Structure 1
Amino acid sequence: MKVRELTASDIALFSRLIMDSSEFDTLTDLERRECESALTAAKAVVEGYTGLDMATTEQEDLAYAVKVLAAEMIDSHQITAQYTGKNPVAMQIMDMHSSNLLPSVEV
């Protein structure tokens, strides 16, 4: 699955808010909006970190990183000042595809 194919229902399923994608409509409006917001935010994080366009990338493993980050956003509604950790699964996937953090050599 590619990042552009992910839906809020996929995020709800991955986050275990639902056990089957057909149950998405049983969520409250707030829960559905939360999944949509988490999906949008997670895509932005991955896009910003890697420098890749999430609408066109063919890297299927980045979809998993988006799901991991979105689920973490749903699980952790707030982050305290003591929290300095980064999800190692998402970071490992994003590091493999990062194109905007490499130093460039000018000739």
Structure 2
Amino acid sequence: MKVSEIQESDLQDYLKLEFNDPLIGIFLESAKSYVKSYTGMTDEQMDSYDDIVAVIYVLVSDMYDNRMYAQKNTKVTIAPNIVAKSILDMHSHNLL
């Protein structure tokens, strides 16, 4: 399978959803953008690596399961969601 062949219905099955959630399409496009920004690959380059499909599935699953920006990572500490933080970091123009 190629990244360009991933359908929302595939992800809905993977997440074991019993309904069509419109967030899946948003998360799919976000996951693709994340991989492209992180790696510098084009859509065509992403299609040439089968393992990138697994990454897209994992990212969509994480985005669906962890829909809050802050998450508890220990009993006391609350930290930002790692994927959300790294997306914002890639697009930040005001880093010191």
Band the TM-score falls in, shorter-chain normalisation: 0.5 to 0.7
The yes-or-no answer on 1:7 pairing with 2:4 is: no
**Distance apart, 1:71 and its partner CA:** 1.0
Among 45, 48, 52, the alignment partner of 1:62 is 52
The yes-or-no answer on 1:82 pairing with 2:74 is: no
In the alignment, what sits opposite 2:93?
Answer: none
Q: Which has the higher contact order (CA 8 A, sep 6+)?
A: 1
Contiguous gaps of at least 5 residues in structure 2: 71-77, 84-96
**Distance apart, 1:85 and its partner CA:** 4.4
Runs of 4+ with deviation above 3 angstroms? 83-86
Contiguous gaps of at least 5 residues in structure 1: 19-26, 87-107
Among 46, 61, 66, the alignment partner of 1:71 is 61
Q: Could you say what the CA RMSD is over the residues aligned between the two structures, in angstroms?
A: 1.7
- 1:51-76 deviation digits (Å, cap 9, x = unpaired): 1112x121111011011001111111
**Distance apart, 1:3 and its partner CA:** 0.5
**Distance apart, 1:84 and its partner CA:** 5.4
Output the TM-score relative to the length of structure 2.
0.68
Could you say what secondary structure the match of 1:82 adopts?
strand
Output the TM-score relative to the length of structure 1.
0.62
Structure 2: distance between partners of 1:7 and 1:63: 11
- 1:5-55 deviation digits (Å, cap 9, x = unpaired): 10111111222214xxxxxxxx24xx1x1111110000000111011112x
Higher strand fraction: Structure 1 or Structure 2?
Answer: 2
